[in-house]
Amino acid sequence: MHLGTWAAGRGPLYRQLADALARSIERGDLQPGTVLPAERTLAESLAVSRTTLVSALDELKRRGWLESRRGSATWVSGVAAGEPESRAAMLARDGAMRPFARGRGAHIDLTFDAPPPLPMVSEALTGLSRLSLEDLTPAHGYVPAGTPELRSAIARRLAGEGVPTTADQVLVTTGAQQALSLLAAYYLRAGDAVALEDPGFPNAFDVFRAAGAELLALPVDGEGVSVDALEEMCAARPPRLVYITPTHQSPTGTVLAASRRRQLARVAERYRVPILEDTALADIPLGDEPAPPAVAHHRPDGPILLIGSMSKLFWGGLRVGWVRAPRAVIRQLVRLKLMADIATPLLSQLVATALIERTEEARGLRRAQYGPRLERLTQVLTERLPDWSWIPPAGGFTLWARLPAGSDATAFAAAALRNGVAVVPGPRLSTEERHRDCLRLAFMLDSEKLSQGVERLARLWERVGDSPAARPEDPAPTVFV
């Protein structure tokens, strides 16, 4: 449970915690009927003593925010405990992305990995001002599959990267997240199995869980996802879908080796298992060595569907993505998109069309922007936290750090948040809450902020080490300046 820098105010710690929980309920982060975890578990996740937590919960019961029965659970007022809960309510309560969408009050946020706009985005927007509505085709503005110009531009880009593509094999979506949602709706029925990377992309976890899928973990090493593990899985019981990020995998930044890409394409062909190949982070290389061609390059007519996006490269606010798939699949996805949002906004598509031809230029700008920040982050980590380890990512915006064996990254992340630094603990990026000794650190901030963030983490580590939840009582909250 992430409540921002709730302990930086005045007054007794239990009252500050009660106030923070009340604000969370008011915002809707904690929905009516939500059953709170057991007291011991909740106290550990918040890095407070059980005494402090019980006092805070009693205060909230007195105010009417919480209810409980003797010998039973404690829940948020409004819905009786035990009442059936919708899947939407369950995701709102437990979704993997929930901690990322709230609590942005940390002074130094090392969780956020959406980039600001490149200057060329402003140039493209300025160019739109010279258009009249009569220039937009069609005049009514509804283009469910995407404008012909943008679909053709995406097809040319993919063909230039080794994946022969025609415009009618492309569907324009409102971001890569919608692409995932449409594909999940098309392929999955409740109870179907989806194999995906672990650690992996929490947005995808939520999409597939919303579709009622069973998530099967595939391990990731220094060369990307284990295709041998997938092949063993397929031999026993093929999953309905496989979701992977072969280039600059999130959160590790690894690049799937060329030999594994060929093997993966063969597995897809042999078992007729659709592969969802997410290429959004492939646009963010941090080194000079090019990544191997996409998995779809090896079987362009096979069951391998490419997902792409403008948002990681050009601007997080440019919500334009795409799916490259067989024509028959594209036709069905268009029907699903009509029910979702009818069409991706036309103005966004016009901006995307103006920008996509400048992809290589944009990649160079991002490399120049974030390469030095990664270098600075690893430098200060080496100096201040020498017992942490990591493999420098080949691309993307995050570094996957491993704490000494036996560390509790979740408890440390909670303590760090109380000290003004937000980080993502490994279990949040795992379908089975693995990687308990790992943290994901985004390096979107400038070098000075990154240095300050690591300094705060280092001073906290010196103070509490790997057992921030083991204190018998909570010390006064520390905020480093």
Residue 31 and residue 92: Cα distance in Å, rounded?
8
pLDDT for position 80: 47
**Mean pLDDT in the chain?**
88
Residue 472 has pLDDT above 50, yes or no: no
Give 388-419 pLDDT, tens digit per residue: 999 999 999 999 999 999 999 999 999 999 89
Residue 352 neighbours by CB under 8 Å, 6+ apart: 150, 172, 310, 318, 320
Residue 174 and residue 319: Cα distance in Å, rounded?
5
Other CB atoms within a 10 A radius of the CB of residue 216 amount to 18
Query: What is the percent of the chain with per-residue pLDDT over 90, rounded to a whole number?
Result: 68
- Please say whether the dihedral angle defined by the alpha carbons of residues 395, 419, 45 and 410, taken in this order, is positive or negative: positive
**Residue 32: pLDDT band with limits 50, 70, 90:** confident
Query: Would residue 103 count as lying in a domain?
Result: no
Query: Would residue 470 count as lying in a domain?
Result: no
What is the DSSP annotation of 164-229? ---GGGEEEESHHHHHHHHHHHHH--TT-EEEEEES--HHHHHHHHHTTPEEEEEEEETTEE-HHH
What's the mean pLDDT in 278-287?
96
Closest listed residue to residue 460, CA positions, set 384, 401, 399 = 384
Task: Please tell me whether residues 374 and 401 are part of one structural domain.
Answer: yes
Residue 40 has pLDDT above 90, yes or no: no
Q: Where is the domain boundary, 308, 326, 357?
A: 357
Residue 333 and residue 329: Cα distance in Å, rounded?
6
Task: Indicate which CATH number applies to the domain containing 454.
Answer: 3.90.1150.10
pLDDT for position 479: 31
Name beta bridge partners: 241.
194
Q: Which domain covers residue 431, as residue numbers?
A: 109-113+366-464
Task: Please tell me whether residues 63 and 15 are part of one structural domain.
Answer: yes
Give burial (CB, 10 Å; 0-12/13-18/19+) of 454: buried
Task: Please tell me whether residues 194 and 338 are part of one structural domain.
Answer: yes
Rg over alpha carbons for the chain, rounded to the nearest Å, is 23
Task: Indicate which CATH number applies to the domain containing 64.
Answer: 1.10.10.10
Query: Would residue 475 count as lying in a domain?
Result: no
Query: Would residue 471 count as lying in a domain?
Result: no
Task: Please tell me whether residues 330 and 445 are part of one structural domain.
Answer: no
Task: Please tell me whether residues 283 and 378 are part of one structural domain.
Answer: no
**Most confident of the ranges 9-23, 36-50, 163-177:** 163-177
Q: Where is the domain boundary, 327, 357, 387?
A: 357
pLDDT for position 84: 52
Query: Would residue 259 count as lying in a domain?
Result: yes
Task: Please tell me whether residues 181 and 256 are part of one structural domain.
Answer: yes
What's the mean pLDDT in 271-290?
95
pLDDT for position 11: 76
Task: Please tell me whether residues 14 and 160 are part of one structural domain.
Answer: no
CA distances, 335 to each of 329, 342, 417 (Å):
10, 9, 44
Give 77-123 pLDDT, tens digit per residue: 865 444 555 555 556 555 555 554 444 556 899 998 989 999 999 99
Beta-strand relationship, 170-173 and 275-278 = unpaired
Query: Would residue 277 count as lying in a domain?
Result: yes
Query: Would residue 477 count as lying in a domain?
Result: no
Beta-strand relationship, 241-244 and 193-198 = parallel
Task: Indicate which CATH number applies to the domain containing 286.
Answer: 3.40.640.10
- Please say whether the dihedral angle defined by the alpha carbons of residues 464, 469, 471 and 473, taken in this order, is positive or negative: positive
Query: Would residue 13 count as lying in a domain?
Result: yes
**Residue 480: pLDDT band with limits 50, 70, 90:** very low
